[in-house]
Chain A
Amino acid sequence: MSDRAPSGYADRPLVKPPVWTWEIPVYFFVGGVAGMSLLIAAVAGLARMSDGAPALDPLVRKCVWVACAGAVISPMLLISDLGRPMRFLNMLSRFNVRSPMSMGVWILVGFSGVSGLLLIAVNGTIVDLPVVAPFAGALGPLMTTLLICGGLFGALLATYTGVLLGVSTIPAWHQNRRRLPVHFGLASLGSAASVLLLFGSSDPVLVRLLWIAIAGEAGIALLSIDRSAVARENAAVPQWTRLPPILMTVASAVPLVLGLPVLAAISFPMGSLLSRFAWIKVGRLSAMTSGSSQRD
């Protein structure tokens, strides 16, 4: 036998790369921000309860506005990425627990519904309507349940996208199936806080939330430096995919320490958005190098 290896298929990709384009990473970011802002609204509303009704202070109002904006933009992004956009309603024809895509769609529907109601509720016009008057008493608990549901849907919307990638055959994704939801959740929390800061809300809570997110991201970054997916060692990984962790930790912490929260509120969400693109890119590379001869 000569030393010549047989021409086989060991170096050919075992699995197909994702077909998604830019709309999906943007949706991950927008959905995440919208989701987490509703969580912030919920906690804010409940934490500052007064006489049985959640406080609808400016922060909560802003959060609901951000959530609603996300609830409008997200479906458009998802639908535009579909191979056949006109058939998006087919997604609502069944509820498939085993499919993160199907669950995600229903989470988004739930989230949009609740944030819509909250938008109306928060603007107070509903309260003066004569027809609503007799139920005035029930408004407080209604608002509470709405906020709780909103917060829940919001947090799920921000984290299910991690599951969407984690539950796949792409090696770089499924090997990080536990880390991705946490990472997307924290990134969304921090981004939501940053967005609210940028919208002029000076509530000190936001800075604390940003700190929490930065700390979380730093933890994840430390965890993944040691081993992480095949993507890291793979030479073909472009350099910019290493940027997001830095933006979301160091580049955000320093401005905060220097008392320039606005700077941090720009750096963190940028890192978060870039991170979504990085995970899609790494996913593609991982698929293309999934051949058995390249298995790490």
Chain B
Amino acid sequence: MKNERGQRHNYVERGVTVGFLTDPTLCIGCKACEVACKEWNDVPSDGGARAAIGSRSYDHSGDLGASTWRHVKFVETETEEGLPRWLFLSDVCKHCERAGCLEACPTGAIWRTEVGSVLVDDDRCNGCGYCVVSCPFGVIDRRGRPTAEIIGSIAGTAPSSGSSEAVAGEGGAFKCTLCYDRQVEGKIPACANACPTDSIMFGPLVDLKEYAQVRVETLHQRGVTDAVLYDGQEGNVNGIHAMSVLVGGSVGDAAGDAADLWGQPSNPTAPYAYLAASWSSALLTVVLSAVACWLAFVL
């Protein structure tokens, strides 16, 4: 399976559900995906929650967020013989099958496109911020004030260049758009287009799923026995469109500690799971308080 860079695809017209498969065993940690994404989408510099030097190997982008839509993670570990082992993985919004952000959005700004990607319409979003606390992967964020200040004040790292002047698109929620505007043109997303080693694979989700199984199997045969597929089947998001192979966890584990190592939830839970319990409690309170008032009056 290969990224089709020369020809134009017509996934949008045919409504084909597309996605990413990221394979860390091909990644060289060059961060071309981070730069290509920002250049194509004019994403401003993420001077905000900057991971200070020394806290995360060569990863200074810190986290996905409103101004970092692709984020290469670096893990330094060791082989059995005690030789260094350096792993890289390009993280991105998961475009969940059932997306917490989409369900939380009160303005309908977040919608699912014909290719199954979850897209924030920057012209509708009024920055209410509820999607930010509804994403089980901690991806989407509101740009500019006050997220940077909040994180800065808590994590004790004042935003290094928390520039006060207005940031482009300030106040809106942002995340990876799976380059919907490129896809309308029949082009593949900017990150997959740039990736020198095709570690980021873009294509129909069905084909990616099939290829992912084959790839994990091949890796196991080749001795990369700790390779597992992280496809979001656990938890309640019913699968994710941006899958990745994970390495570095313990051999043969279900994706548990590999997910932990890479800072991914092993059991991503979109908040809709809590609706019933919370609303019922609210309605019960309404009734009880009405009764309480009645009693207070009548006695």
Contact = CB atoms under 8 A, between A and B. Distances in A.
Interface of A: 1-2, 4, 6-10, 12-21, 36, 39-40, 42-44, 47-48, 81-88, 90-91, 93-94, 96, 98-102, 105, 151-152, 155-156, 158-160, 162-164, 166-170, 173-174, 177-182, 185-186, 189, 205, 208-209, 212, 236, 283-285, 287-288, 290-293
Contacts, number: 275
A29 B105 CA distance: 23
B278 A177 contact: yes
B94 to A, nearest CB: 13
B29 interface: no
B218 to A, nearest CB: 24
A285 to B, nearest CB: 7
Contacts of B133: 15-18, 168-170, 173, 283, 287
Given A13-B138, A156-B282, A212-B296, A189 B77 contact: no
Given A96-B108, A167-B275, A288-B155, A181 B285 contact: yes
Interface in B123-156: 124-130, 132-144, 146-147, 150-151, 154-155
A236 B126 CA distance: 32
Given A159-B282, A181-B282, A293-B260, A98 B293 contact: no
Nearest to A176: B278
A47 B105 contact: no
Interface string B6-49: 00000000000000000000000000000000000000000000
Contacts of B296: 43, 205, 208-209, 212
25 contacts: A7-B74, A8-B75, A10-B260, A13-B138, A16-B141, A18-B133, A43-B290, A47-B297, A82-B126, A84-B171, A87-B107, A91-B126, A96-B106, A98-B272, A105-B106, A158-B289, A159-B281, A169-B269, A179-B281, A180-B281, A209-B293, A284-B150, A287-B133, A287-B138, A292-B259
A160 B282 CA distance: 6
A43 B293 contact: yes
B286 A159 contact: yes
B265 A47 contact: no
Contacts of B128: 81-83, 91, 101
B298 interface: yes
A29 to B, nearest CB: 16
Nearest to A160: B282
Contacts of A151: 290
B292 A189 contact: yes
Contacts of A48: 297
B63 interface: yes
A162 B80 CA distance: 50
A168 B171 contact: no
Contacts of B290: 39, 42-43, 151, 155
Contacts of A182: 281, 284-285
A22 to B, nearest CB: 10
B189 interface: no
B282 A162 contact: yes
Given A15-B135, A44-B297, A178 B105 contact: no
Contacts of A40: 293
Given A8-B248, A12-B63, A43-B294, A20 B129 contact: yes
A94 B278 contact: no
Contact of B281 (A20, A98, A158, A177): A177
A90 B121 CA distance: 12
Interface residues of B, number: 85
Nearest to B286: A155
B3 interface: no
B82 A185 contact: no
Given A8-B248, A99-B103, A169-B136, A17 B150 contact: yes
A177 B276 CA distance: 10
Given A39-B293, A284-B154, 15 more contacts: A8-B263, A12-B63, A13-B138, A16-B135, A17-B133, A43-B290, A83-B143, A91-B107, A100-B130, A100-B275, A101-B106, A167-B272, A168-B133, A182-B281, A288-B151
A189 B127 contact: no
A169 B100 contact: yes
A48 B80 CA distance: 81
Given A7-B76, A15-B136, A18-B132, A212 B274 contact: no
A285 B135 contact: no
Contacts of A152: 286
Interface in B246-299: 248, 259-266, 269-272, 274-275, 277-279, 281-286, 288-290, 292-299
Contacts of A178: 277-278, 281
A167 B138 contact: no
A206 to B, nearest CB: 8
Nearest to A1: B78
